[in-house]
Amino acid sequence: MKKILILLLGAIALILLAWLCLGRHTPAIEQDLVTRTDDALKSAGIDWSRVGIDGRDIILTGSAPSASLRDKAGETARSVHGVRTVDNRITVGEPSATVAPPPVVLSAPYEINFTKGNSGVVISGMVPDEETRAAVVEIARQRVGTDKVVDRLEIVAGAPAGWRSAAEGIAANLDRFSRMNAALVDSELRLTGVVDSAGTRTDVEQAISGSLSAGGYKHRYDIVVPTPVAAANTCQQQFDKLLVERKIHFKTASAQITPESYPLLDELARVASECPAAKIEIEGHTDARGGEQMNMKLSQARAESVVEYLIRKGIAANRLSAVGYGESKPVADNETEAGRAKNRRIEFNVNIQGS
C-alpha cells in the first residue's frame, strides 16, 4: 500500500510539472506554430493569407483570388505539424490591404517593462519579433551604455498596434531619469521615475506620449523632481554607503590612485551627477605615521587626485573642491594597524550651491 501511494504521488508531481512547463512556454509554442504555418503558406505561393492563433488552433484571414486557392490555404495550414484545427475565414475576392490578422489569444497580459536603478537598466516582457527586440535594446544601450542594459525580452505573437513605437519611445528617454520604472501593459503605460528638473519632466512626458499615439495607449505618469536639499541628502547617503563598504586606494606614500579603485570612483561620479545643484568637498585624511606637514600635503594631493578623476568623468570642476586634513581628524586609534587603515581615507561632503 505504501509503495502504491509513493507511485501515485510521483505521478501527480509529474503531471503538475508538465502543466507548469506547458503554461510557461505556451506563448513560445504559439509563435512557433504561427511562424511555421506562415512559412508553409508562402512556400505554397499563398502570400495573401494572414495567420492568427488560439492555443493550437490556426485562424486564417485574408482575401483569396479563387475558392480553390482558399481551400488550398486551409489544407496547407492543416498539414503543419502541431496544428490542431484550422478556422478558415478567408474570403474570395480581390486582396484587401485593410484586412488585419486577428490578435493572438494569450492567457496573460501583453506587457513590456523598463526598470532603471543604480546598476543600470533591465528590459523584460514581450515583443512581437526579433527586429523590434534588437531596435529597443540598441536604443537603450545608446542612451545608458552597452554594459548597463540587461535584455530579458521574449518574442511573443499578438502585440497590440503601435507596440514597437511605444517601446522605442520609452527606451529613447531612459537617460533622462536617475531612477525609473515603466510598465506598458496591453493598452496602458504606467510610469514612475525621478528627473532633475520640471523642464525635463515636461519634455519626457511629451516625448513618450507622442510615441504612444500610434497605438492609442492611455498613460499614467508619476515623475518626481527632488528638491535640491533632498537630492543632496540622497547623494550624501549614497557617498557614505559606498565609502563605508569600500575604500579609494593609493600607492604607498603617493597620491597616485590604484586601478582597483576605478570602479568605486565611477560609482561615486554617477552619484555626483544625480545632485547637480550641490557642491562636493573631497576630504583627504591620513594616519599619524610620518611628519605632520608631510601628511597634510599627502592628504591634499590625494583629495586633488580624486577631484581630477571626477572631472574626467564629466563632473563640473566648479562643483568640486579638495581639502587635505592630514592626521588631524582620526576616526580610530592610530596605535593599531587596523585603526591606521581606517584613518587613511577619502570622504565626500555634500553642500547645496550657494549655502
Q: What is the mean pLDDT of residues 31-35?
A: 78
Can you read off the three cell numbers belonging to residue 252?
Answer: 604607498
Provide the pLDDT for residue 184.
95
Range from 34-43, 194-203, 214-223 that averages highest in pLDDT = 214-223
Contacts of 95 (CB under 8 A, 6+ apart): 48, 62, 63, 65
Cell numbers for 327: 592626521
For residue 299, give Cα distances in angstroms to 45, 106, 149. Answer: 78, 63, 37
Mean pLDDT of the chain, nearest integer: 85
- Which residue ranges make up each domain of the chain? 25-106, 111-224, 229-352
pLDDT at 227: 76
In the prediction, which pLDDT does 1 show?
53
Question: Where does 111-217 show beta strands of DSSP type E?
Answer: 111-117, 120-127, 149-155, 179-185, 188-194
pLDDT, tens only, 143-188:
999 999 999 999 999 899 999 999 999 999 999 998 899 999 999 9
Confidence of residue 15 (pLDDT cuts 50, 70, 90): low
Q: In the predicted model, what is the mean pLDDT of residues 247-269?
A: 94
| Pairing of the two strands 57-64 and 85-88 | parallel
At residue 254, does pLDDT exceed 50? yes
- CA nearest neighbour of 175 among 141, 226, 215: 141
Residue 3: the pLDDT is 56
Q: Is the pLDDT of residue 129 over 90?
A: yes
Q: Measuring CA to CA, how many Å separate 282 from each of 62, 215, 234, 346?
A: 69, 50, 17, 7
CB 76 within 8 A of CB 44: yes
pLDDT of residue 77: 87
pLDDT single digits (tens) 46-55: 887 888 877 7
Instruction: Report the distance separating Cα 188 and Cα 218, nearest Å.
Output: 5
- Exposed / middle / buried, residue 110 (Cβ in 10 Å: 0-12, 13-18, 19+): buried
- Give bridge partners of residue 127 from the DSSP assignment: 155
pLDDT on residue 231: 77
Q: Which CATH number fits domain 25-106: 3.90.79, 3.40.50, 1.10.1760, 3.30.1340?
A: 3.30.1340
Give pLDDT tens digits for 202-250: 999 999 999 999 899 999 999 988 777 777 888 999 999 999 989 999 9
Euclidean distance between CA atoms 207 and 166, whole angstroms? 10
What's the CATH number for 229-352?
3.30.1330.60
Average pLDDT over residues 15-26: 48
pLDDT digits (tens, 9 = 90+) for 56-85: 788 888 888 888 888 998 899 899 888 888
Q: What is the pLDDT of residue 27?
A: 57
pLDDT at 13: 53
What topology does CATH give the domain 111-224? hypothetical protein tt1634 (3.40.1520)
